[in-house]
């Protein structure tokens, strides 16, 4: 390759690299650069209760040099949990635990948003209140395995089960779970929230054809079960 060709190829890369370190306006915040930390499930919440601890606070504070952090996905209710040992945002203890995290991140000069999460059918009765079935737009069993805590307190993969189809009357209750999660996030001093709407979880299940075509009316209706 000719020298001039090399220079022409390098210049766009330099421009992108320089742009990454330019400030960015995000709502009321001026971020020092454009490198952010994406959500990463850690499964480190204290049991019982799925409560964040000083371990979580240390983890996020170590990464506070990111322009801002989006937390690990955090269930808005007991019903919304899909993996063992993931943190929630629906109890007072969880709010207090998350406040340890936000205080540590803010002390280190960072910003952090909470990702609100309901997994829908990507769960298992072992993770659900009263061992109820997971809920979904339709009673279609997902492929793969759920990650649960077994009777020995160990992580274990078990096959997904057929979920229970949500009824229309239950939808306001689901919305309220997200609203409560957002209020609790603000009480825990998060700088904002992000609603998880992808990757096959509840919101995404409502907009994917493979998860919304359920049983016919002749197969009956399921009773409403209010778990948390």
Task: Look at residues 118, 142, 108, 116 and name the one whose alpha carbon lies nearest to residue 32.
Answer: 108
Sign of CA dihedral 93, 94, 97, 103: negative
**Catalytic-residue membership of 201:** yes
Please spell the DSSP secondary structure of 129-160, one letter per residue. GGGPPPEESS--PPSSEEEEE-TTS-EEEEE-
Helix, strand or coil for residue 83? strand
Query: Considering only CA atoms, which of 101, 85, 93, 98 is closest in space to residue 44?
Result: 85
Q: Which of 60, 83, 178, 201 is catalytic?
A: 201
Distance CA 35, CA 181 (A): 26
**Half-sphere exposure in the Cβ direction for 201 (13 Å, CA):** 19
Report the C-alpha gap between 213 and 226 in whole angstroms: 23
Cα 13 from Cα 108, distance rounded (Å): 30
Q: Which residues are catalytic?
A: 201
């Amino acid at each position: 390759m000719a020298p001039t060709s090399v220079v022409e190829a390098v210049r766009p890369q330099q421009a992108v690299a320089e742009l990454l370190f330019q400030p960015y306006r995000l709502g009321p915040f001026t971020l020092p650069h454009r490198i952010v930390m994406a959500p990463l499930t850690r499964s480190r919440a204290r049991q019982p209760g799925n409560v964040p601890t000083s371990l979580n606070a240390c983890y996020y504070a170590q990464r506070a040099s990111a322009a801002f952090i989006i937390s690990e996905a955090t269930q808005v209710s007991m019903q919304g949990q899909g993996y063992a040992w993931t943190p929630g945002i629906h109890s007072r203890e969880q709010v207090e635990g998350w406040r340890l995290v936000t205080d540590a991140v803010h002390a280190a000069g960072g910003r952090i948003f909470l990702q609100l999460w309901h997994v829908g059918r990507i769960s298992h009765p072992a993770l659900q209140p009263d061992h109820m079935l997971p809920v979904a737009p339709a009673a279609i069993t997902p492929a793969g395995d759920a990650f649960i805590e077994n009777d020995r307190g160990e992580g274990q993969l078990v096959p997904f089960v057929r979920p229970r189809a949500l009824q229309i009357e239950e939808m306001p209750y689901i919305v309220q779970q997200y609203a409560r999660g957002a209020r609790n996030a603000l009480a825990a001093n998060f700088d904002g929230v992000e609603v998880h709407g992808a990757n096959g979880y509840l919101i995404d299940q409502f907009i994917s054809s493979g998860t919304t075509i359920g049983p016919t009316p002749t197969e009956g209706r399921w009773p409403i079960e209010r778990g948390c």
